[in-house]
Structures are given as structure tokens and as C-alpha cells.
Amino acid sequence: MTPKKIIIIASVFFGVLAVGLGIYLAWQKSREMIAPPTLPISPTSSVSFPGGVEGVSISPEGQPSGQEIPAAKLRVLSDQAVFDYWTIHSTSTGQTDVLYLTEKGEIFKVVESGDDEMVSSQALDNVQSIQSSQDGKWVAVKYGDLISPRFQLFNSEKALWQLMADNIAALSFSPDSQKIAYLERVSGKPALSNLTTKTLTGAKPIITKIISLNQKDFSIKWLTADKILLVSKPSSQYEGEIWAVDIKKKTISLLANGNGLAVNFADDASWGLKLSVDSARTPHLQLIDKDGNSKANLDFTVSPGKCLPTLSLIYCAVPQSYSSNKKFNLPDDYLKKGIYSRDSIYRIDVNQNTEDVIYSQNEPAIDAFKFSLRDNRLFFINRYDNKLYQVEL
């Protein structure tokens, strides 16, 4: 396929996605109490997961173990509110450092025995999001104007900042943390972008153009060595799409689509969680394989950002109640912080179809998101106070 044909096809696919979030219509009445999953998964087909038996069928016959981790193992880690965080694990010392970014753009390292240590005092206006490499050595910060944001890279080991070009629209780190991919806007052609990769190591960066395409407001996720995802913003009000770019073949294909579309893959990308909203505006959470195929339904509904899929386990913050009795949209109102939830945290074994309660106390109340797992510790941010928490497993 020639580059010209690729651009034409991409234009057809992406050109129709110019709808904004708009005014959100109410569709679901909030319940005061939403029961946690007692039968976590209902099957849609035979499923095989890493570490499991080939062809294992996830059935609704599994029973929860009912074990609960004591509340004393829940701890607040940060001295202050955090915007986002990441972890760095040293293979030489075996130590894991936890760093976080404030809304001002300052960076601190968690010090459990004293005051948190400031790593960088550089201030950034209107911090919008961050992404970290899997090893935590690199962090990309998106900030500034909402229409034309800027990106800076932060080297966690050297505590140095690097300003990216001002025509970068989105970026993501490779699974091996050695490269970065970014959408680079083409001068004079606002809708046209080049998907490009760049090495982060070596004396001279190697820059490779993958494909040119028409796109608007897509984020990207470097999923596997050969696959980069283009992801539209989730909203129940319009159909979102996720496209997979094959880096070697330089082709593009549809991975998933649907209203309210949001995904979260395990680090090895073998499977993940997908949220979508049906024609009746009812949200559904599913297990999907690496190609986006639905494998099983979960009988509770949360934004995938409130879960952490690992090789065979899912850690999820499951709402027990919401802050509003009024009708609201998922995922829109939750992402806009129009509603808050009071969560219990569950650990679900997708092979055994069992679950453990990790945290279910009324106090402190938690509305947990952005999970990560290091050294048998589960980290997350609590939306009630925006501080960083951990649970020892």
C-alpha cells in the first residue's frame, strides 16, 4: 500500500471523529449502594491467559474467598496532594523509589521516614497528564495550552528536563523503555500528523517515520514492540475508536470501537480490560485479548483506570456508593469529577474465578485510580484528597 493510499484511508477513518464531548445526557440513575461482585465474571467464550491452562472457560461458579486484608496495611505515602506518580525499581539495590508530580510541576520522592525529598523545583503551567516508561527512568509531562500543549521529558536518574518540539500532539514510551513514539503535526496541514519513533539512548538519536495519517485529538499507547495504538477520548456521547499501527508493516487496522470506549492492558499486552456503552446507554466492562476480541464479561462496571490487570490477576476499585443520587453518565461524569465513588478494592483471579477483598473499610473513604504494583505493594491515588496511598499485599 502506497503512502498516498494510506493517507486517504486514514482520512476516511479519522475525518469523522471531530465531535467534541458536548453536553452530556443523563442515562443511568445512581444507586446509593452498588453491590461488590460476588460472581465476578460471566463467560462469553473459552479463555486462555498467561500462566493458565489452555482453553480455560471462565464460569460464574467460582466463589469469593472472603478474605480481607486488615485496614492497618493501608497507608498514606505522600506529604501533599499529587497530580500523578511513578515508580523506579533498582535491580542493583532491589529498592523501589516512588516519585510524584504536583499540579505545579514540582517533583518529589517519597521518604517514608521523613519529609518527602524535592527532586525538581521546576514549575509548569497547567499540567495536563504524564506518562512514564515502564522502568520509570523517563517521564513525559504534558502541560500548557489545551489546544496546543507542550511536552517535556524528565530523566528520573539524572533529574534533568528535556523540552520536546512544539508540534508534538501525543507521545508514548516503548515497552522496553528505549524509545519514544509521538504524533508530530505537519506544518501547514493541521489535520495531518506523522507517527514517528525516536531512540532515547545512544550518542545520536535515531528518528524513524512510521506512517502519516489524518487524526484529531488522539492519544497513543505503545502496546508491544511492533504495535502502537491510537486512542480517541472516551465519551458515552459518541463512538470512540482505537486503531492499531503495525510498526514493521506500516499498516493501520481497527482494534475496537464503541461509545464510552476505554481500555487498559496488562504490561505484557496479552490481555486487558475494555469499557463500552451499549445502545441503551448501559456501560459494560469486558476482558479482551491483545487483538481487542471480547473474551469475558465482568458483572461490575468501572472505568478501566480504576483497575490494574496483571498476568492473571485484576486489582479493581469497585464502587459501593456514589456521591450523587442524580442521574449521571459513565465514563464522562466520573472523568470530569462530577461524581465521586466510595470504593472497596478487590483482587480477582481470572483463572480461578475467585476474589479477595483487599480493602473495604468506611474510613478512610477512598475513590481509587491509577494503580501500580511494586514489591508486593499496591499503589494508587485517592481522589478525595489527591494523595498517594499504598496497600501491602
**Residue 217: which CATH number?**
2.130.10.10
> What are the C-alpha distances in Å from 343 to residues 76, 198, 362?
16, 40, 9
As a whole number of angstroms, the distance between CA 356 and CA 366 comes to 18
- Does pLDDT of 352 surpass 60? yes
Nearest in space to 299 (alpha carbons), one of 15, 64, 139: 64
- Does pLDDT of 148 surpass 70? yes
- Higher-pLDDT residue of 374, 50: 374
- Does pLDDT of 142 surpass 90? yes
Q: Is the dihedral of CA 62, 66, 67, 71 positive or negative?
A: positive
Q: Are 375 and 383 in contact (CB under 8 A)?
A: no
Q: Is the dihedral of CA 143, 144, 150, 152 positive or negative?
A: negative
Question: Which residue range forms the structural domain that includes residue 370?
Answer: 3-392
In this prediction, residue 54 has a pLDDT band, given cuts at 50, 70 and 90, of: very low
Q: What pLDDT is stored for residue 66 in this prediction?
A: 46
Residue 230 is which amino acid?
L
Domain count, the chain: 1
Q: What pLDDT is stored for residue 63 in this prediction?
A: 36
As a whole number of angstroms, the distance between CA 254 and CA 53 comes to 29
Q: Model pTM?
A: 0.83
Nearest in space to 186 (alpha carbons), one of 214, 147, 206, 210: 214
Q: Are 347 and 355 in contact (CB under 8 A)?
A: yes
In this prediction, residue 67 has a pLDDT band, given cuts at 50, 70 and 90, of: low
Q: What pLDDT is stored for residue 182 in this prediction?
A: 97
As a whole number of angstroms, the distance between CA 184 and CA 210 comes to 11
Backbone φ, ψ for residue 81 (5° rounding): -65, 145
As a whole number of angstroms, the distance between CA 279 and CA 318 comes to 24
In this prediction, residue 195 has a pLDDT band, given cuts at 50, 70 and 90, of: very high
pLDDT > 70: what percent of the chain? 81
What is the 8-class DSSP label of residue 324?
-
Q: What pLDDT is stored for residue 49 in this prediction?
A: 41
> What are the C-alpha distances in Å from 59 to residues 171, 319, 352?
39, 23, 9
In this prediction, residue 31 has a pLDDT band, given cuts at 50, 70 and 90, of: very low
As a whole number of angstroms, the distance between CA 79 and CA 111 comes to 9
Mean pLDDT for 39-50 is 42
